[in-house]
Structure 1
Amino acid sequence: MSELATLARPYASAVFKRAKESASAARWSENLAFMSAVISSKEISVLVNNPKVKKDRLTGLLLDVSKGQIDNEGVNFLQLLVQNNRLALLPDIARLFEEQKAEDEGYIAVEVLTAFEFTNESQQKFAATLEKTLSKKVHMNVTLDKSLIGGVLVRAGDRVIDGSVRGQLQNLQKALL
């Protein structure tokens, strides 16, 4: 996975630079999210990973699927990735682009896994606490995960804060063994 991120980083940086130059970061976010979703779909990923499918045929198929969903720059980028055999990097490119965009805009995207639903008030308090801890404005994506038993698991970039009962039990198990 780190190898894919290493390969994806120059593409993400180039796209981010272009998005800054043309003041189109939001549009690039949409382009990359759509292209990433298409490439990640089961039906398309089979074709992308099949060496028997010719590049021009794959490009035509992807452009047909993407018609009206991505702009001309997105089309050019998609064609570049096909020609360089880098379509598999799209999810990593999209993720790295979003990280750079968040950094530039002064916030951090935070994935929060919780064992129980947050109330609006508790979510606001938790967000405020995270903002103090991370020293940045946070955009939280909260997901319910019953396997945590209790507590929360927070992923902010490459930082993980494990305040879950499951995590504490795993740490206790390691300490006892």
Structure 2
Amino acid sequence: MTEVAQPKNVLDPSAEQLGKTYARALINAAQAEGNDTLQLVVNQLGQIVDEYLGGSDSLRMALGSPRISEDEKVRVIDRVFGQDFHPLLIKFLKVMASRDRLGFIHAVRDQATQIFDDMMGRVVASVKSAVPLDDSIRNEITNHLSSVMNKQVRLTETVDPDLIGGMVIRVGDRVYDGSVANRLNSMARTTRAGFSSKLLEKFEQLTSQ
């Protein structure tokens, strides 16, 4: 039977706590080298999780499986990441490998991103839209929310073709209502050339109710 390493569920208290512990260690080490290194390392950790592990079952299995030796995991890290990623991050991944903790890398990424956002005074806005956002409307949403909340805003995006209203924006426990949808609809009209007509139609349906 083929073993497939599964990502750890960050809702698991033990995974979440372990993720925080390793994330704080990475943040502290990167911060000691300066803010540019800190931002780069956090971004690159996200790239590893989302693009590399998210796009390759075999790589995820190689790094997360307890059946694969530490030495082999280190060789994989060097071969796949060694030339393109910051040395501090490479060293961190090898430390996780030596402690058989690479199966928790998703939790570490989530916690490191959250810690970094807190350090930057930044809030996360989750945007679910019927079609992918383009750069113009993405910037409009970010700038508008930043102005309303008087904080930096980072967007996370999800596409749901079945979304009736066209777009839902959530910041923490708050879901933005029709008054904000009207404002976003106005933004969309000013950037019609770069914004999906399908999403505009869904905005119009929502705001006409």
Q: TM-score range by the shorter chain?
A: 0.7 to 0.9
Supply the distance in 1 between the matched residues of 2:157 and 2:167 (Cα, whole angstroms).
10
Aligned twin of 2:20: 9
Structure whose residues are more often strand by fraction: 1
Supply the distance in 2 between the matched residues of 1:8 and 1:89 (Cα, whole angstroms).
7
Mark the CA change 1:155 to 1:77 in structure 2 (over 3 Å): closer, same or farther.
farther
Quote how far apart the aligned CAs of 1:123 are. 6.4
Aligned twin of 2:113: 98
Task: Indicate the SS of the match to 1:109.
Answer: strand
Supply the distance in 1 between the matched residues of 2:137 and 2:82 (Cα, whole angstroms).
42
Supply the distance in 2 between the matched residues of 1:22 and 1:87 (Cα, whole angstroms).
24
Aligned twin of 1:35: 48
Of 72, 83, 96 in structure 2, the residue corresponding to residue 68 of structure 1 is: 83
Supply the distance in 1 between the matched residues of 2:69 and 2:102 (Cα, whole angstroms).
13
Mark the CA change 1:118 to 1:68 in structure 2 (over 3 Å): closer, same or farther.
closer
Supply the distance in 2 between the matched residues of 1:80 and 1:129 (Cα, whole angstroms).
39
Quote how far apart the aligned CAs of 1:50 are. 3.4
Note the alpha carbon deviations across 1:14-36, whole angstroms, 9 max, x for none.
11122222112122123312432
Task: Indicate the SS of the match to 2:123.
Answer: strand
Mark the CA change 1:163 to 1:83 in structure 2 (over 3 Å): closer, same or farther.
farther
Q: Which runs of 5+ in 2 are unaligned?
A: 1-8, 179-209
Aligned twin of 1:112: 127
For residue 90 of structure 2, what is the amino acid of its counterpart?
A: V
Checking the alignment, whether the CA contact within 8 Å between 1:39 and 1:87 is kept in structure 2 is no
Mark the CA change 1:152 to 1:70 in structure 2 (over 3 Å): closer, same or farther.
same
For residue 120 of structure 2, what is the amino acid of its counterpart?
A: E
Supply the distance in 2 between the matched residues of 1:116 and 1:64 (Cα, whole angstroms).
37
CA-based RMSD of the aligned residues comes to 3.0
**Could you state the TM-score of these two structures normalised by the residue count of structure 2?**
0.64
Checking the alignment, whether the CA contact within 8 Å between 2:31 and 2:38 is kept in structure 1 is yes
Task: Indicate the SS of the match to 2:162.
Answer: helix
Aligned twin of 1:169: none
Quote how far apart the aligned CAs of 1:150 are. 1.0
Checking the alignment, whether the CA contact within 8 Å between 2:65 and 2:103 is kept in structure 1 is no
Of 15, 22, 25 in structure 1, the residue corresponding to residue 38 of structure 2 is: 25
Identity %: 16
Task: Indicate the SS of the match to 1:27.
Answer: helix
Of 96, 100, 105 in structure 2, the residue corresponding to residue 85 of structure 1 is: 100
Task: Indicate the SS of the match to 1:147.
Answer: coil
For residue 104 of structure 1, what is the amino acid of its counterpart?
A: M
Supply the distance in 2 between the matched residues of 1:101 and 1:160 (Cα, whole angstroms).
22
For residue 18 of structure 2, what is the amino acid of its counterpart?
A: L
Task: Indicate the SS of the match to 1:150.
Answer: coil
Aligned twin of 2:144: 128
Quote how far apart the aligned CAs of 1:87 are. 0.7
Aligned twin of 1:170: none
Task: Indicate the SS of the match to 2:124.
Answer: strand
Q: Which runs of 5+ in 1 are unaligned?
A: 165-177
For residue 53 of structure 2, what is the amino acid of its counterpart?
A: I
Supply the distance in 2 between the matched residues of 1:46 and 1:126 (Cα, whole angstroms).
36
For residue 51 of structure 1, what is the amino acid of its counterpart?
A: P
Quote how far apart the aligned CAs of 1:57 are. 1.1
